[in-house]
Amino acid sequence: MNENGSAQVALAARFEEHRPRLNAVAYRMLGSLSESEDAVQEAWFRLSRTEGGPAAGEVRNLGGWLTTVVGRICLDLLRSRQSRREDSLDASVRAFGETHIPDPVVTRADTADPEAEVLLADSVGLALLVVLETLTPAERLAFVLHDMFAVPFEEIAPVVERSAATTRQLASRARRRVQGSTPAAETDVAKQREVVEAWMAATRAGDFDALLELLDPDVVLRADTGELSSGLSKVVRGAAEVAGQAAMFARVAADQHLVFLNGMPGLVALPGGEAVSLGSFTVVDGRIVEINIIADRERLQVLTRPLREA
């Protein structure tokens, strides 16, 4: 192997050391497992190019450099995504409200590592990712890089093309929205599992009163079918309204199974072995305050692959 080849191998080895952190940054920025992988791979391409990426010895803090590169790639993707959504939604859908639920990390309940699931739940719950979707791309970048990965504002500012002071304000606005919208959810996996299993039993029995008992009066249900223009993707608020919606899913209730979604107990519906929905639950003080359901068949085929491969 020549000198250039050896240098490239060494650079690739150094990049792999940082890949877990880069994956974590990209996932929190994009809420999409496939796009996160693409963003990290693009960072490798930029690093490895003869022109446009530094050699291994030319970067004093390679991890910091790669983090900001991934952040910049994700920022561009978020801006492009936002533009596409605005172009594709007509006025009536905008008035109704767009509902998009990020990709959860799905694991089987019978093979999950309890310790690993708790760590994942603590680091990035699906409810937090839903809130991050409401931020502007620049706010999301400033919040994720600074509050979650301790990147100084001085290093974030050039990425968002703002001053360090303005970047600090972006993160502050995002932080207030996150803190105001993300409930102090149950972190005890066993306690949440008990509530989710009770919900599953009540749904199977069609027990409206039992469903109401499990729901917080101000519970929010989000359903993402991937068909915004059809009106099937929606947000439902209030215990009675959400319980009524749950009764509509009684036809698949017998095929619900416990899974872990981002480290916390959730449900997958598998009638005939085909995934038709994934449901995540946010539990506070023994009651469900938020339910997020993905019913996009195309996305479900990818997201539930770990269930079929395990």
Cβ 73 vs Cβ 25: under 8 Å = no
Q: Indicate whether 299 pLDDT > 70.
A: yes
pLDDT-based confidence at 165, cuts 50/70/90?
Answer: very high
pLDDT-based confidence at 114, cuts 50/70/90?
Answer: low
Average pLDDT over residues 150-162: 95
What percentage of residues in the chain have a pLDDT greater than 70? Answer: 83
C-alpha distances (whole Å) from 162 to each of 13, 107, 169 are 34, 40, 10
The pLDDT score that the predictor gives to residue 93 is 41
Q: What CATH code is assigned to 3-89+130-181?
A: 1.20.140.160
pTM: 0.84
Report helix angle 189-205 to 114-123, nearest 10.
90
Least confident of 110-114, 129-133, 144-148: 110-114
pLDDT-based confidence at 4, cuts 50/70/90?
Answer: low
C-alpha distances (whole Å) from 167 to each of 68, 76, 179 are 14, 17, 18
pLDDT tens sequence across 232-244 = 578 899 999 999 8
Q: Which stretch, 39-53, 199-213, 243-257, has highest mean pLDDT?
A: 199-213
pLDDT-based confidence at 123, cuts 50/70/90?
Answer: low
Beta bridge partners of 223: 234, 293
What percentage of residues in the chain have a pLDDT greater than 90? Answer: 54
Of 147, 105, 151, the closest CA to residue 278 belongs to 105
Q: What CATH code is assigned to 189-309?
A: 3.10.450.50
Q: Indicate whether 168 pLDDT > 90.
A: yes
Beta bridge partners of 294: 224, 278
Per-domain residue ranges of the chain: 3-89+130-181, 189-309
Q: Indicate whether 97 pLDDT > 50.
A: no
Mean of all residue pLDDT scores within the chain: 84
Least confident of 5-14, 128-137, 180-189, 236-245: 180-189
The pLDDT score that the predictor gives to residue 232 is 58
How many whole angstroms separate alpha carbon 103 and alpha carbon 29? 12
- Per residue, the 3-state secondary structure of the chain, as one string, reads CCHHHHHHHHHHHHHHHHHHHHHHHHHHHHCCHHHHHHHHHHHHHHHHCCCCCCCHHHCCCHHHHHHHHHHHHHHHHHHHHHHHHHHHCCHHHHHHCCCCCCCCCEEECCCCCHHHHHHHHHHCCHHHHHHHCCCCHHHHHHHHHHHHCCCCHHHHHHHHCCCHHHHHHHHHHHHHHHHHHCCCCCCCHHHHHHHHHHHHHHHHHCCHHHHHHHEEEEEEEEEECCCHHHCCCEEEECHHHHHHHHHHCHHHHCCEEEEEECCEEEEEECHHHCCCEEEEEEEECCEEEEEEEECCHHHHHHHCHHHHHC
The pLDDT score that the predictor gives to residue 92 is 41
